[in-house]
Amino acid sequence: MKDNSTPWSYRASSSCLHRLPAGIKLVFLLLLSLAVFFPGTESRTLIFLSGIALLLIILSLIAGIRPWRLLRGSGPLLLLIFVIFLLQGMEFSPFGINKAGLREAIVFCIRIGTAFAAGSLLFAITTTGEIRKSISRFETAIHLEKFKIGISIALMLGFLKRFFEIWEDITLAWKSRGGRNNLRQLKIIIPLVIEKMMVKAAETASAMESRGVVTSHPCLKIKKRVRSYHN
């Protein structure tokens, strides 16, 4: 049966990865995401990325997730990055494509794809609430509650998930009107997604403000900017 779940969405299960503390999963997979950008020669980088990809495949199978589902939603992002690198590597006098630039584009797309898969796995086995509670306990342990790090990180992670929900909704509307997967799709969809994300940020800020969250919180600053944008 086809899996139509939203990218980076939580998938309920009783696997050992789901039961692990959220803080451990967050730190491990964030470090894994950063590790894919570790500098090195092209051959060493590909070997290193292959090792990380293999680890992600094993972890996804343990969590009961088909490995290729971790890349769901990454197509437009990888296509955009590849086209940008490809255009940068083009030579017009005489016309041709810089092979080194093309290889660099491919390697960078692999890096982004691997980091995307790591983030997808994190959200598939951990809820935003679990992450927030874990960070809040850490804040309490080191007496940093006043900085509200847990709220900030939870909001950031929540917006990442919300981005894909909005992207899926707009993409579905695009395809229902006969749209195709091409560069024109990105040109039309990206501004709409950005606008909806700004509106969502304003709504979130209003909810936080009504609950007594300090007005200096970054989300409340976003709210003011969105209001001025619409005015």
- What's the pLDDT tens digit per position in 159-198? 777 777 787 788 888 888 887 777 777 788 888 888 887 8
- What's the pLDDT tens digit per position in 60-70? 999 999 998 88
User: What six digits make up the tokens of 1?
Assistant: 């049966």
What pLDDT score was predicted for residue 197? 79
Distance CA(46)–CA(42), nearest Å, equals: 6
User: What six digits make up the tokens of 18?
Assistant: 């789901």
What pLDDT score was predicted for residue 2? 43
Could you tell me if residue 36 is inside a domain?
A: yes
Task: For residue 20, give the DSSP letter.
Answer: S
**What's the mean pLDDT when you consider all of the chain?**
78
The answer to whether residues 11 and 84 belong to one domain is yes
Q: What is the DSSP track for 175-230?
A: HHTT--SSHHHHHHHHHHHHHHHHHHHHHHHHHHHHTT--TTSHHHHHHHHHHHHH
The answer to whether residues 45 and 103 belong to one domain is yes
Could you tell me if residue 48 is inside a domain?
A: yes
117, with CB counted inside 10 A (0-12, 13-18, 19+), is buried
Query: Is the model's pLDDT at 55 over the cut of 90?
Result: yes
Amino acid letter, 163:
F
The answer to whether residues 38 and 92 belong to one domain is yes
100, with CB counted inside 10 A (0-12, 13-18, 19+), is exposed
The answer to whether residues 96 and 162 belong to one domain is no
Query: Is the model's pLDDT at 225 over the cut of 50?
Result: yes
User: Which has more confidence, 30 or 61?
Assistant: 61
The answer to whether residues 68 and 160 belong to one domain is no
The answer to whether residues 99 and 28 belong to one domain is yes
Could you tell me if residue 140 is inside a domain?
A: no
What pLDDT score was predicted for residue 149? 67
Could you tell me if residue 133 is inside a domain?
A: no
Domain count, the chain: 2
The answer to whether residues 86 and 173 belong to one domain is no
**Quick one: pLDDT band at residue 215, thresholds 50, 70, 90?**
very low
The boundaries of the domain holding residue 163 are 147-231
Distance CA(7)–CA(63), nearest Å, equals: 16
**Quick one: pLDDT band at residue 228, thresholds 50, 70, 90?**
low
Closest to 7 in 3D by CA, of 75, 71, 78: 71
Could you tell me if residue 135 is inside a domain?
A: no
The answer to whether residues 102 and 177 belong to one domain is no
Could you tell me if residue 142 is inside a domain?
A: no
Could you tell me if residue 75 is inside a domain?
A: yes
Q: What is the DSSP track for 35-73?
A: HTT----HHHHHHHHHHHHHHHHHHHHHTT--GGGGGTT
**Quick one: pLDDT band at residue 81, thresholds 50, 70, 90?**
confident
Q: Which of 32-41, 89-98, 176-185 bottoms out in mean pLDDT, i.e. has the lowest? A: 89-98
**Quick one: pLDDT band at residue 33, thresholds 50, 70, 90?**
confident
**Quick one: pLDDT band at residue 221, thresholds 50, 70, 90?**
low
What pLDDT score was predicted for residue 195? 83
CA dist 139 to 26, 58, 156, Å? 15, 32, 17
The answer to whether residues 17 and 103 belong to one domain is yes
Asked if residue 94 has a cis previous peptide bond (ω within 30° of 0), the answer is yes
List the Cα angle 190/195/199 in 5-degree steps: 145
What pLDDT score was predicted for residue 54? 95
The answer to whether residues 192 and 107 belong to one domain is no
What is the arithmetic mean of pLDDT over 210-230?
53
Could you tell me if residue 138 is inside a domain?
A: no
The answer to whether residues 116 and 177 belong to one domain is no
Amino acid letter, 57:
I
Distance CA(173)–CA(2), nearest Å, equals: 20
Q: Which of 44-48, 79-83, 171-175 bottoms out in mean pLDDT, i.e. has the lowest? A: 79-83
